[in-house]
């Protein structure tokens, strides 16, 4: 982090929600920082996109309040860079020179909101709350999928084969015929697979497969 950025991050602390502010206007940065801190949010301030790009993203729900016109890389260009890098922090754009083409481009690229200066404090707070909630839900969803994938990785190759057939809708007898093993063998693998996947039912297992993008044959 460069000397011109201002952070309240404590390495020993673990904030639950973080708001990043990137604006080359010091007064605006400080005003917004005070606003967000007044409602209990963790805030980090930056004067340029490059300053922000040097930090390590925290393991917390986050959002980025980003000025459209910045020294060096513009806000819209930085939005594209973040997307290309796979950094999915929700973005709220602000500008004193906003126009329809800019806002359309920003929103199409996934921005949460596009606020024109001067904006009302409540307008900005509402946008930030929406952005943080979206990021929280995204993180929870990704964590759940990662846990399911870890369970899948714990299966043996035979258990994976049985899982694929169960998800496809085959009965134990049909699965046994496909695998060239006895029905009792399939039952044993199926019990072990369901236990490892923590699946309460076949419907539950199918939902897990869908969340992992495991395709099932139509019909």
- The domains found in the chain, sorted by start residue, are 6-142 (3.40.50.2300), 154-211 (1.10.10.10)
Task: Report pLDDT for 190.
Answer: 96
Q: What is the mean pLDDT of residues 35-45?
A: 95
pTM, full prediction: 0.77
- pLDDT at residue 121, rounded to an integer: 95
pLDDT band at 216 (very low <50, low <70, confident <90, very high): low
State how far the alpha carbon of 8 is from the alpha carbons of 42, 44, 63, 84, in Å.
Answer: 7, 6, 16, 28
Identify the residue with better confidence: 201 or 102: 201
Q: What is the pLDDT of residues 136-195, one digit of tens each?
A: 999 999 999 999 999 999 999 999 999 999 999 999 999 999 999 999 999 999 999 999
Q: Is 88 helix (H, G, I), strand (E, B) or coil?
A: coil
- Residue 107: predicted pLDDT: 82
Instruction: State the pLDDT at residue 12.
Output: 45
Nearest to 36 by CA among 115, 112, 129, 113: 129
Mean pLDDT, rounded, for 8-20? 69
Q: Provide the CA 214 distance to its chain's centre, in angstroms.
A: 20
Q: For 56-113, how does the pLDDT look when each residue is reduced to its tens digit (9 = 90+)? A: 888 899 999 999 888 888 888 999 999 999 899 999 999 876 667 777 888 888 888 9
Burial of 48-85, coded b for 16+ CB within 10 Å and e otherwise, reads bbebbeeeeebeebbbbbbbbbbeebbbbebbeebeee
**What was the pLDDT predicted at 92?**
95
């Amino acid at each position: 982090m460069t000397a011109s950025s201002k952070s309240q991050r404590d390495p020993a602390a673990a904030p639950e929600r973080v708001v990043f502010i990137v604006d080359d206007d010091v007064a605006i940065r400080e005003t917004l920082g005070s606003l967000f801190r007044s409602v209990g949010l963790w805030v980090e301030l930056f004067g340029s996109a490059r300053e922000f790009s040097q930090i390590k993203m925290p393991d917390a729900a986050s959002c980025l309040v980003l000025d459209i016109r910045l020294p060096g890389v513009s806000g819209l260009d930085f939005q594209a860079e973040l997307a290309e890098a796979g950094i999915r922090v929700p973005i709220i754009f602000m500008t004193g020179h906003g126009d329809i083409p800019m806002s359309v481009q920003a929103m199409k690229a996934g921005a949460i909101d596009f606020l024109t200066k001067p904006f009302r404090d409540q307008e900005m707070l509402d946008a930030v709350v929406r952005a943080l909630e979206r990021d929280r839900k995204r993180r929870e969803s990704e964590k759940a999928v990662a846990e399911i994938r870890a369970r899948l990785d714990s299966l043996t190759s035979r258990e994976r084969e049985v899982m694929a057939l169960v998800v496809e809708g085959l009965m134990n007898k049909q699965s046994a015929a496909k695998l060239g093993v006895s029905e009792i063998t399939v039952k044993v693998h199926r019990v072990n697979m369901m236990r490892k996947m923590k699946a309460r039912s076949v419907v539950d297992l199918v939902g897990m497969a869908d969340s992992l993008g495991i395709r099932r044959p139509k019909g």
